[in-house]
Amino acid sequence: MSHVNEDVDHLNRQILRYETVLRSGVAFFQGSDNVSREEWHKFVSTLQLNQHYPGMQGIGYSKMLRADEIASTEKQMRSDGYPSFKLKPSGMRNEYSSILFLEPMDKRNLRAIGYDMFSEPVRRLAMEKARDTGHPTLSGRVKLVQEMETDIQPGILMYLAYYKKNLPINTVEERRIAIEGFVYSPFRMNDLMRVIALKDPDINFEIYDVDHLSSRNLLYRSFNKSSYHPKFTAIKVIEINGQIWHIHFYSSEKFDAEHSSKSPVLYTVIGLLVYILLMFIILGLITSRRIMAEKSKELISHKTRLRTLLNSATDGVHIIDMNGKIIEYSPSFASMLGYTNDEMAKLNIFDIDPKFSIQEILSAFEPLPEEPITLETMYRSKNGEFIDVEITAQKILLDDERYIYASSRDITEHKKSEKELKKLSQAIEQSPNTVIITDLAARIEYVNNAFTASTGYTLDEIIGKNPRFLQSGKTPTTVYIDLWEKLKQGKSWNGEFTNLSKDGKEFTEEVTISPIIQPDGNITHYMAIKDDITEKKRAAERIHYLANYDLLTGLPNRSQLNDRIQYALNDAKRNAGEIALLFLDLDRFKDINDTLGHSIGDLLLRELAKRVKKLLREEDTLSRLGGDEFIFMLPHTSTQGAAFVAEKILDVLTQSFDINENELNVTASIGIAIYPYDGSDPDTLTKNADAAMYEAKQKGRNNYQFFTKAMQENASKNLQLINGLRHAVEKNQLSIMYQPQIAIAENKIIGLEALVRWEHPEFGNIPPSEFIPLAEDSGLILSIGEWVLRRTVEQAKKWLDAGLPETIIAVNLSAVQFRHPHLPEIVTSILEEFDLPSKYLELELTEAVAMHDPQSVISMMDRLHAKGIRMSIDDFGTGYSSLSYIKKFKVYKLKIDQSFIADISDDLEDKAIVKAIIRMAHSLGLRVIAEGVETTDQLAFLKEELCDEVQGYLYSKPLRANDYELFVNDWKLKH
């Protein structure tokens, strides 16, 4: 038994060496970016195979190649000293694994250079197992390429996969992607078994590659075959690194002769010996880290070979004793930490891993299993920085002493990559954009949460399906054709899809689809990133609509109109045609807004647009510029045609509009400009049609006018007037006239109305009816209005101080002035500036302004009333007053518009209106004043109807301040 144990120990040590050599070869490749032929020769020579590793025919490297790499590989090998190198056997195959390195380079091994081991099924099967498992693998029986004509022996090969650096190899799929080649060793079975088999004359055995006993499958026979039939036999089936061996044991003729009379106990002993023989072969050939740890004593005793292995290791290999002392280490371990060899010799594990203490090492050692374990920790390098490391460790016995064997790998970048990958994964999963990954057949393999949220489909409903189930039918077929053409070329595609969600809701997506290309250049998947742009598209359409169409009426706006006019102009220029442009503006539309509100006015504009649009041809364009202004563009229309359309428009507007139970009657003024006579571009034609429209208003409204040069001159004059108004105050061109107001019953002067006048240096006296609208349109009315109020208050104070009769001076307010939020403070400030009591000032507001937003008017009147400032309603009867609001207004007087006074002697309707106003006002406790009184008949009627006050040329025209003083003195003399 001692003889058997000795041989078992010998076998274990020998097999450990074989595996260790292959691992050191892989480490050697991992430690260099480019291993040269000379470096490989030196590495193998250092191992001294014949002396230390008998049975190994050599150590080689076989590289995985694609078909497109064959030519460049052959060229490189020829330049490396193999002038006749050619891959063998010849022929096209999907994959190749050619022997490029093999040492020692003797006559036998030279025959193997260039041989494609993937071309032979037995070798390929073992190599694929080694690739997929990452463990050493034995092949079945083969004839080695190295065999010469004599002494041909069965052969086997041991393979260990070498993977590309920095690629994950945690799964079979990852290892297949990362495979770079194989470090391998060929064995001739007779030579191998002469080294590792038992030297026992009593037991013979045969090893077969499979269970079929034939010379084809025989790997080794320990005896010369004869006609002798042994008395004792046994068969054992064992698995060695994935390879099945059938071993047949026989008793020898000598053994049978010596032990034929022994008791059955002897047979049991023989069986036990056979079993021991079987087990030492199994244990000798199975590759495991446990054997490495148990046999580490021999590695340490052989310093030279240990140093070779440590020098070749890319991971940080180190051995520590139970005090934490580092007794052996690889150069890569020192490099990882940044220490020199001298510094490493003084280090303890506690210096590089602060979490450890002696107590922790001792407590951690006992439960440490026999098999290696893997853990992660952090090492502190020489510069104080911490690096993440992954450690594979196990306990070992060396010279009956306990040690810890550890292999450390710097995984700092890997951890960073993991974090980045996790971050990327979370970003994709939480991305608001839809992400889909499909295989090359467009079958869905992955979708993120955004996909299920936007489409309504669950994962179970869509995994494995083609995304075409989302199609709405509205995406053109040409889009899909272009998509697949790009993807087949390995290019990305970008475009839009109109798809349907599970509930049938249509949505639009902006899509980018890209091929997923692996490191080897192969496309394995497609990835689509989709952004739901439904709302964006709707917003864009809405923006386009708002940019080109009027929101209220849906008609083309100015921008769209100009484009259509320009198009029509280009056509007319080519064909010598005419174009008519009609500019329509509603008459007194502001009164409707001010009295009934903007909502009623908006509804009126919509109905008007519908009504007049029915009069037009399909080629005509109706556009709303804003407010109550409309433009008609009529291509191929002459002067006569334009007049005909204008008459039809005016006629259709005579029909009343029923808007929210309000019967509204409106008229319009229309200006007409004709191309090519009145302009050759959109702006000129529009400007001239506008000028013609104003001419129509000047001529009484409710008519149309064609543009003339005189109108152009009038428009130019208005521009000059506006420019002049800007400097009229500082140039003292404005003045104030005062028209007396008479109390009928007492026949005395009780007040005046301040009226502003403008003496233009070029155009002379400009009436208020002409320049006040210009001041309102240009925004100058606030500064002019404040100037009028200031001068009037100043004059009133002078008259009061001069002893003139106490009178109330009325000042007209424009709508802009009245709506100013600080009007009460402005008025009060001016009164205080000139020390004039507020009872001498009256502010007049037209009925139209008063009825616009009555609640705001009431609020402003209340504020003015609180400061003692009187208010009156001017032009009463011309608007749409509500009695309920009149009662709430803080006013003390109504002024009847002069349009009702002019024909009061003859017009029964005017008489009735005036009577009604006077009686209504008196019933509300208000005074009444009539303006524009010019005859005694008018005065007599007003006196008879108990009107309180009058104002007009019958008594006096508007007077300058000094003339008013003369008027007062003359009045005293006459009355």
pLDDT digits 0-9 by tens, 680-716 = 999 999 999 998 998 898 888 899 999 987 666 666 7
What confidence score (pLDDT) does residue 791 get?
95
Please give the pLDDT value at position 168.
92
Burial of residue 277, with CB atoms counted within 10 A of its CB: 0-12 exposed, 13-18 middle, 19 or more buried:
buried
Where does 389-491 have alpha helices with state H? 412-430, 449-455, 459-462, 477-488
Report which of residues 265 and 653 the model is more confident about.
653
What letter would DSSP give residue 556? B
Q: In whole angstroms, what is the distance from residue 261 CA to residue 302 CA?
A: 48
Q: Residue 603's pLDDT is what?
A: 94
- 718-765 confidence digits (pLDDT tens): 778 888 888 888 888 899 999 999 999 999 999 999 999 999 888 889
Rounded distance between C-alpha atoms, residue 209 and residue 218, angstroms: 6
pLDDT score of 584 more than 90: yes
Rounded to an integer, the average pLDDT of 40-60 is 83
- Higher-confidence position of 49 and 891: 891
Model pLDDT, residue 62: 96
Q: How far apart are CA 214 and CA 208, in angstroms?
A: 8
- At 62 the three-state DSSP class reads strand
Interior/surface letters 399-425, b for 16+ CB within 10 angstroms, e for the rest: eeeebbbbbbbbbeeebeeeeeeeeee
Q: Tell me, what's the pLDDT at 299? A: 38
Q: Which residue has the higher pLDDT, 776 or 188?
A: 188
Q: Could you read off the pLDDT of 448-486 as tens digits, one per residue? A: 988 999 899 998 899 999 999 999 999 999 999 999 999
Q: Taking 50 as the threshold, does the pLDDT of residue 262 lie above it?
A: no
Task: Quote the pLDDT of residue 484.
Answer: 92
DSSP three-state, residue 242? coil
* Per-residue pLDDT at 635 exceeds 90: yes
Is 331 buried (19+), middle (13-18) or exposed (0-12) by CB count in 10 A? Answer: middle
Question: b/e map of 763-790 (b: 16 or more CB within 10 Å)?
Answer: eeebeeeebbebbbeeebbeebbbbbbe
pLDDT of residue 917 exceeding 50? yes
More confident residue, 433 or 18: 433
Per residue in 341-352, pLDDT tens? Answer: 888 888 888 888
pLDDT above 80 for 881: no
Identify the pLDDT of residue 266.
Answer: 43
For residue 815, the model assigns a pLDDT of: 81
Encode pLDDT of 515-552 as tens digits. 998 888 889 999 999 988 888 888 887 877 777 888 89
Beta strands in 53-178 (DSSP E): 59-65, 96-103, 137-138, 155-163
Going by pLDDT thresholds of 50, 70 and 90, the confidence category of residue 125 is: very high
Say whether pLDDT at 176 is over 80.
yes
- pLDDT of amino acid 359: 62
pLDDT of residue 519: 83
CA distances from 974 to 674, 748, 968 (A): 62, 11, 10
Mean predicted confidence (pLDDT) in 412-439: 82
**Per-residue confidence (pLDDT) for residue 301, from 0 to 100:** 41
| pLDDT value, residue 304 | 53
CB 343 within 8 A of CB 358: no
Q: Identity (one letter) of the amino acid at 211?
A: D
d(CA 574, CA 798): 72
- Res 380 pLDDT > 70: yes
CB 282 within 8 A of CB 302: no
Q: How confident is the model at residue 593 (pLDDT cuts 50, 70, 90)?
A: confident
Please state the separation of Cα 250 from the chain's center in Å.
Answer: 78
Residue range 399-414: mean pLDDT, rounded: 81
Strand extents, DSSP E, 660-800: 662-664, 668-675, 704-706, 734-743, 748-760, 764-766
Q: What's the pLDDT score for residue 106?
A: 86
CA distances from 181 to 160, 162, 476 (A): 9, 5, 49
CA count, 13 A, side-chain hemisphere, 697: 16
On the question of pLDDT at 269 being above 60, the answer is no
Higher-pLDDT residue of 354 and 955 is 955
- Comparing 329-338, 444-453, 851-860, 916-925, the range with the smallest average pLDDT is 851-860
Percentage of the chain beyond pLDDT 70 is: 88
pLDDT score, position 790 = 94
Residue with tokens 């004509």: 149
pLDDT in tens, 311-357: 766 788 888 887 778 888 888 888 889 998 888 888 888 888 876 66
- pLDDT, residue 719, reads 76
Q: Helix, strand, or coil here: 912?
A: helix
pLDDT surpassing 90 at residue 152: no
Q: Is the pLDDT reported for residue 288 higher than 60? A: no
Helical spans, DSSP H, in 53-133: 70-79, 107-110, 121-133
Q: What is the pLDDT of residue 857?
A: 85
Quote the pLDDT of residue 295. 40
Average pLDDT in the 579-594 region? Answer: 89
Residue type, 23: R
At residue 776, the pLDDT reads 78
First to last CA, the chain: 163
200 near 4, Cβ under 8 Å? yes
Averaged confidence pLDDT in the chain: 84
Whether 390 has a pLDDT exceeding 80, the answer reads yes
pLDDT tens figures, 639-678: 999 999 999 999 999 999 999 888 888 999 999 999 999 9
In this prediction, residue 259 has a pLDDT band, given cuts at 50, 70 and 90, of low
Read off the pLDDT of each residue in 138-147 and give the average, rounded to a whole number: 90
